[in-house]
Amino acid sequence: MKEFTVLDLLDLDLKEKNTLELKCIGGRPGLSRVITTSKINRPGLTLSGFIQEFAYDSIQVFGKGEQAYLKTLEAKKSFNTIEKMFSFAIPTCVFCEGGAPGEEFIAIAEKSGCPILTTGLQSGDFSLRIYQVLSDIFAPQTTIHGVLVEVFGVGVLITGDSGVGKSETALELIERGHRLISDDTVKLRSVTGNILIGEGENEFLAHHMEIRGLGIINITHLFGVSAIRDKKQVQLFVQLEEWDSNKNYDRVGEDLTTNILDVTIPKLEIPVKPGRNVPIIIETAAMNERLKKLGYYSAKEFNQNVLKWLESESARNLYYNNEDTF
């Protein structure tokens, strides 16, 4: 992953509940400083002169308390501890609730090349949001060759060899009212370690498809905004493959899974051959997946019923043949 700088943080296009309301109020040359961790630090202890274990590589967040303490320091003209703090390479300092430090503080920060930002948010809110935003950015990620579609609200990642019909299958699903997230290359991020979020590699290319014989088509223009989506959790992994008569496909609902970025996802292997309507199979698989989430596990329940039935049969037999058992 390329380096993530303070400038990138200011440039992030975040909407509504994610907005950070950040503004730079000093130390502009320092905007090229790199942020390396999603953690934040409240520098209260550092300001009071205690610098052991100072998490200098985190973003320093100044809430009301820190700002009030800073004011007392400024009133006393005591800047030793501030200078000591800026002797570390701090990525950036953020002042919450629209606060701003005094000129001396900014001068010291600028001398050390640290940019000063301010936000209108409360420190608690800001910490929460920046942590979410940064953990998204620093999440482990990988790119996979496949199509990501949302089918009945389930994120289905369709993979398979080139030419097996991934795009055609996805096109039919879109035609049937489902949504395209990305065709061909899907960027996957493991958020919080157990959720896999998929999105297009590039926002300008994501909602286009290449169909053999047609060329590049624009899904948004052809099917409207209801046919697209920016990102979606991957909940089902579908592998399309050419029908191999020597291979045994799942007949009774085995639980195949696959591992991507240490996240386990249910997997289906669907053989493709003329006459098999793959989109409808995928639709059914997505609905079945939703049923499982609701606690109805068709395959398991079916087998439990069979077992119950067989058991009662065998009890009856015991009763009929009681001469040799009792």
Residues of the shown chain interacting with other proteins in the complex, contacts defined by CB under 8 A: 248, 251-253, 299, 302-303, 306-307, 309-311, 313-314, 317
Q: To the nearest whole angstrom, how small is the minimum distance from the Cβ of residue 244 to other proteins?
A: 13
Interatomic CA distance for residues 162 and 218, integer angstroms: 21
Query: With helix as H, strand as E and coil as C, how does 154-211 read?
Result: EEEEEEECCCCCHHHHHHHHHHCCCEEEECCEEEEEEECCCEEEEEECCCCCCCEEEE
Q: Which is nearer to other proteins, 89 or 318 (CB)?
A: 318
Q: Which is nearer to other proteins, 230 or 311 (CB)?
A: 311
Interatomic CA distance for residues 98 and 106, integer angstroms: 15
Q: To the nearest whole angstrom, how small is the minimum distance from the Cβ of residue 315 to other proteins?
A: 9
Q: To the nearest whole angstrom, how small is the minimum distance from the Cβ of residue 160 to other proteins?
A: 23
Q: Which is nearer to other proteins, 1 or 315 (CB)?
A: 315
Residue from 33, 129, 166, 267 carrying the catalytic annotation: 166
Annotation marks residue 251 as catalytic: yes
Q: Which is nearer to other proteins, 152 or 302 (CB)?
A: 302
Interatomic CA distance for residues 169 and 186, integer angstroms: 16
Annotation marks residue 13 as catalytic: no
Return the number of other C-beta atoms located less than 10 Å from residue 240's C-beta: 22
Annotation marks residue 207 as catalytic: no
Q: To the nearest whole angstrom, how small is the minimum distance from the Cβ of residue 316 to other proteins?
A: 9
User: Is the Cα torsion angle 83, 85, 90, 92 positive or negative in sign?
Assistant: negative
Q: Cα-Cα-Cα-Cα dihedral of 319, 323, 325, 326, to 10°?
A: 90
Q: Which is nearer to other proteins, 152 or 249 (CB)?
A: 249
**Chain Cα centroid distance, residue 62:** 28
Q: To the nearest whole angstrom, how small is the minimum distance from the Cβ of residue 308 to other proteins?
A: 10
Residue from 28, 64, 111, 145 carrying the catalytic annotation: 145
Q: To the nearest whole angstrom, how small is the minimum distance from the Cβ of residue 303 to other proteins?
A: 4
Annotation marks residue 184 as catalytic: yes
The alpha helices in 19-155, defined as continuous H runs, are 44-47, 64-75, 80-86, 103-112, 123-138
Q: Which is nearer to other proteins, 15 or 251 (CB)?
A: 251
Residue closest to 153 by CA, chosen among 255, 275, 245, 283: 283
Name 265's Cβ contacts closer than 8 Å, sequence gap at least 6. 157, 196, 234, 235, 236, 237, 257, 258, 259
Residues catalogued as catalytic: 145, 166, 184, 251
